[in-house]
Amino acid sequence: MGACMSLEFNKIVQQVYNMGAMLEKLDFDVSKALDLARERFSASGDMQRVWERIEWVRSSEISHYRGAAPTSLPNAEPINAVVPPPSPPTYATLIAGDGSQIYPDELAPVHYYLLNIGIYVYYHSLIAGEAPTPEQHTYPKLYFHRDHVHDRGGRIISNRTVDDRRTVDELKRLAQAAWERRSPELALVALYDNRLLYLPGNDAYDGDDLMSEYLGAMVHMHDAGATLAGYVDNPFRAKRFIQLLFLMSIETEAELKARQVEISRAGDLEGLRDQQFFYAILKDGERSAIMVQNSPQNKLFRDRGESYEIAFFYLKVNNSHQSKVVRVDIPMWVAREKERVDQLHALLLHQCQLQGRNPYPYALTRADELAWVGGKDRKKLEELVNVEVRRLKDDLVGRTLTAKMRGKELARSEKRYHNMYGEDIIDER
């Protein structure tokens, strides 16, 4: 057998240089767009003018607008509002949820997948020594029935389908944990490490059922009286607010119709992202106005009830090492109550001060640790499944062969003995 060839870097060095030359010619400078966006932001306090343009893009003759819009609440915040950090509550319960998975393996002797959901309950108290010990819970679930692991055509389900099922299971577990800790006296916050505007992938054959379960979990959360928040740590692609600022530059509906192809790329603000803009606008601890995304996807949530439309705001979290802009998704039942929003705002800032160099909610970090299925765990589960498959195989052979024939088969096979849990197990190769 010939020796393995490694990558011949001498043949690609020049190609890397060529790539660098191309990058030098690209314009990554967004300072002009940022200055222009600042001007429009400062001039965007007229809500009547804002709503006029939102009505334009919601007409049947205009498409492509998936940008931000004010909420339809009576006390809707101006789109150029900047809200300072409020004081945190003395006591609160924070429940954080996250999930992990093992995907099905086409080549495995048995097709299965695993979902593992971690729930971490943090009892917030500003008075030292009064907070109860945090709670840790994990919910591993092995799916192996053919109806769970295969689609209607008998094909093994995709990784995306497993992801969709994990997403729904995360919210259901989080809602149940909130329900079990509901209290009319104590602030109850449920943190979800993902966007709330969920839509199953096209390859999820049970997508309608998943969407129904997801919305059902939101209703359960609402019934528990919880302040639900989807935490998006790095919304680096989002430009929904930048699209709104471009829209504010349009003077007439006729002009909008003529330029609607520019909407999706934000016209003269192209290249600028929400995260960059709000990093420049917000001071540490401040948040943006609460807004909604104008999209058919959000309409699905609103159709379930006005309380379930998804709103959002940008927040500049920080600790002693750095600052960053994150997006926080909230359902309308949270957005309409200023006290809930203030509590959430303050608690997120407090959580981001509790650990390490990265300003990230402590409770979500712990939930991620609980949910994570590492390489050793995956290997251990694979071994357990293989042992069970071999046991069943041996049992089946033992039922159909005489003792003499079985003895000959064992004698002629290559046998290795492994000791697991104090028992000798024959591994026939």
Domain boundary assignment for the chain: 82-371, 375-428
Cα(43)–Cα(31) distance, integer angstroms: 19
Q: What is the DSSP letter of 108?
A: S
pLDDT in tens, the chain (429 residues): 556 667 888 889 889 888 887 776 665 678 899 999 999 999 999 999 999 999 999 987 887 789 999 999 999 999 999 999 999 999 999 999 999 999 999 888 889 999 999 999 999 998 988 889 999 999 999 999 888 899 888 889 999 999 999 999 999 999 999 999 999 889 999 999 999 999 888 766 678 899 999 999 999 999 999 999 999 999 999 999 999 999 999 999 999 999 988 998 999 999 999 999 999 999 999 999 999 999 989 999 999 999 999 999 999 999 988 999 999 999 999 999 999 999 999 999 999 999 888 899 999 999 999 999 999 999 999 889 888 888 877 665 555 545 555 565 556 555 444 444 444 444 444
CB 138 within 8 A of CB 116: yes
Q: Is 271 left (phi over 0), alpha (psi -120 to 50) or beta?
A: left
Contacts for 287 with CB less than 8 Å, ≥ 6 apart: 82, 83, 313, 314, 315, 316, 328, 345
Q: Which fold has domain 82-371?
A: archaeoglobus fulgidus dsm 4304 fold (3.30.2170)
> What Rg, from alpha-carbon coordinates, does the chain have?
27
- d(CA 285, CA 334) in angstroms, rounded, equals 19
For the whole model, what pTM was predicted? 0.85
Name 394's Cβ contacts closer than 8 Å, sequence gap at least 6.
Answer: 426
* Residues ≥6 apart with Cβ < 8 Å to 117: 97, 98, 99, 138, 139, 141, 166, 169, 170, 173, 371
The first and second tokens of residue 169, run together, are: 């299971």
